[in-house]
Amino acid sequence: MKGRWFKVYAIGYLLFLYAPIIILPMFAFNDATVIAFPLTGFSTRWFAAMFEQPTLGLAVKNSLFIAITSSILATTLGIFAARASTRYRFPMKAGIMGLIMLPLVLPEIIVAVSLLVVLLGMGVNLSLWTVILGHVLICTPFTIAILSSAFQSLDQSLEEAAYDLGETAASTFRLIILPLVMPGIISSLLISFTISLDEFIIAFFLAGTEPTLPVFIFSQFRFPAAVPVIMALGTVLVCLSIVLLTIAEFFRRRGIAKTGGKDTGGFL
Amino acid sequence: MTDKPTMIAFQDVQKYYGDYHALRGITAEIRAGEFFSLLGPSGCGKTTLLRTIAGFEGISSGAVMIDGRNMAGVPANQRPTNMVFQSYAIFPHLTVAENVGFGLRKAGLSKAEMASRVGDALEMVGLKGFGDREAHALSGGQRQRVALARALILKPKVLLLDEPLSALDKKMREQMQVELIRLQRQVGITFILVTHDQEEALVMSDRIAVMFEGEIAQLADPETLYRRPNSRRVADFIGTMNFLPAQIIGESGDTVEVEAQGFGRLVLNAEQAPGGTSGEGAVVGFRPETLTILFEGQTASDRESMAVIEEVVYYGDMTYYDVKLAGSDAAIRISMRNVFGRPVLEIGDETRVAWSPGALVLFR
């Protein structure tokens, strides 16, 4: 009896979470401009319409550039920070790590507004690079979280063994540490890419006149006729996110299997 | 043994971690080709000392010499030592052959030479034909062997073993102990073993340094360590030792006269009092097997006392009797090999016990 209520609760919970997302492809393939039931017929014309929007193309290009650049930068910074925090002791370590991780809990709007004020104050022109700056700031805590667990599960004697067998610190890093944390690096790249790709607030404040994908989508909602196209775009993005996160998780698990460790839970 | 040259020399080695004094003036020499053990409880500094040889730990003062060369400023990757780690540290993303051949990467060998050296190393540790296996799929014993082959393939002057057997089960451990001794004889390299297991140290070593709190308490061969420990603490750490209170009556030349509880008045030679004889509160120590329970018709070859059985612990091949000697209120342990047809005594039985003053050691 008890078990059945849990089942009902679980199904209700999942519906609440995912029903809105299921609506997305439904209307993306619906042959009507108005977003309302009943569905009128199957059509792929909204997907075709996507390609006729020049601003959309530019927004996608900008967003991909921002996401790729910020994920690489954030992951690089994350590697240094995770390595330092798991391997070395230094003064004020807890405080420094806390400050790095802080953007994880700071309201994004505060981060965006403060960055805007500071950048304008410094006389920096808003561009894609200012968005990248903001995205690196919010992605780095995520990359550190992922990479710390990758570095943590690395037995320190592995490094010592390589060093003992004649390798230098640099070649030990390349031959032993890097291959073993590579799954963590890949999953960190993919997750920061995903975060950056759909980030709205910072992009909205710091992009200047350049459109990014989320900002473009938001702006399109002013035109009812454009809504089905957005639905189609949303469908593509959801599929892309699922694929990326699946790849990230695949690499994370393969890394665990390879090093013979125990799965301690990841983001998926 | 003594004519072998010195391989490693510690000269007043001190090591501080902040305020913590981890090594307190270690001075010792390890000879070439020796199987040497650093034995002690956890936290005694034995692993730290081993890591100063490998170059993983710097020292605060003093010197570590390997084969006559001061190792100050020589990093771990340039020292003529290789290490077998407690966790084995097998590279999980490489095959067995890639693991074993890892140290040869910089030797500039041809593929064929490399394969033959790796093959030889694997054969030496009994893993012939395992080269293509994935390293992470090996059992504990196999990992241990891979770690050994990987460390020995570079033909180091010194092989360092950091508690290499502690992760194995008892049977496997005993088997590996014998194999390690055989291997060491075969390659003739100086082996330095860190262990907290006194039995393991006794079984495997030519000489043992017993360490407590960052100092070497005694450095000797296993037999000396067992029969003539130089302090009560060492005696207590190595095997089982009985202690009974004693009074020092007098000293003359190289003999000491003592009045020991349960044994009466005895004359011991100076060699039996390695810790010196001054001061109050002395004890005599003796191993459980140095006393013998006499059965009917047996007579003592030296001395004989009466005793009452307090406790009987039956081990199959052995029986341990906790007894009180006449004139003593402290229970001592006697171990007797069980002989077919001879009864096991019971609690409360009175028995005669044979002993010899030569087996006693006097501690302050």
Q: Which of A243, A238, A241, A231 is nearest to A29 (CA)?
A: A231
Q: Report the amino acid identity of residue B333.
A: R
In sequence order, the 6+-apart residues with CB closer than 8 A to the CB of A252 are A146, A183, A184, A187, A266
Radius of gyration of chain B from its Cα atoms, rounded to whole angstroms: 25
**Token pair in block for residue B198:** 């006194």
What is the DSSP pairing of strand B81-84 with strand B158-162?
parallel
**Token pair in block for residue B240:** 């089982």
For chain B, the structural domain boundaries read 6-227, 240-364
Alpha-carbon B226 to chain mean position: 10
**Token pair in block for residue A117:** 């004020």
- Residue A61: CA atoms inside 13 Å, Cβ hemisphere, count? 8
- Give yes or no for A165 touching B (CB within 8 A): yes
Which chain A residues have a beta carbon less than 8 Å from that of B52?
none
For chain A, the structural domain boundaries read 64-259
Distance CA B277, CA B258 (A): 10
Q: What's the confidence (pLDDT) of residue A34?
A: 73
- Which of A163, A180, A260 lies closest to B77 in CB terms? A163
Q: What's the confidence (pLDDT) of residue B249?
A: 85
Q: Which of B208, B206, B188 is nearest to B197 (CA)?
A: B208
Is residue A75 predicted with pLDDT exceeding 90? yes
Q: What is the pLDDT of residues A83-114, one digit of tens each?
A: 888 888 888 888 888 888 888 888 989 989 99
Q: Do domains B6-227 and B240-364 have the same CATH topology?
A: no
Tell me if A258 and B102 make a contact (CB, 8 A cut-off). no
CATH number of B6-227: 3.40.50.300
ipTM of the complex: 0.82
Asked if residue A38 has a cis previous peptide bond (ω within 30° of 0), the answer is yes
Tell me if B89 and A160 make a contact (CB, 8 A cut-off). yes
Check residues A221 and B306 and name the one with the higher pLDDT. B306
DSSP-assigned states of every residue in A27-67? HHSBS-SS--SSP--B--HHHHHHTT-HHHHHHHHHHHHHH
Distance CA B90, CA B68 (A): 31
Q: Does the domain spanning B240-364 belong to CATH 1.20.120.450? A: no
Tell me if A165 and B150 make a contact (CB, 8 A cut-off). yes
Asked if residue A25 has a cis previous peptide bond (ω within 30° of 0), the answer is no
- Which of A167, A176, A180 lies closest to B77 in CB terms? A167
CATH number of A64-259: 1.10.3720.10
A268 — pLDDT class (breaks 50, 70, 90): very low
Q: For each of chain B's 364 residues, which pLDDT tens digit applies? A: 456 889 999 999 999 998 899 999 999 999 999 999 999 999 899 999 999 999 999 999 999 999 999 998 899 999 999 999 998 999 988 999 999 999 898 878 888 888 999 999 999 888 888 888 888 888 888 898 999 999 999 999 999 999 988 888 888 889 889 999 999 999 999 999 999 999 999 999 999 999 999 999 999 999 999 998 988 899 999 989 999 998 888 888 788 888 888 888 888 888 888 766 565 678 899 999 999 999 888 888 888 899 999 999 999 889 999 999 988 888 999 999 988 888 888 899 899 999 998 899 988 7
Residue in the structure block whose two tokens are 């000293």: B251
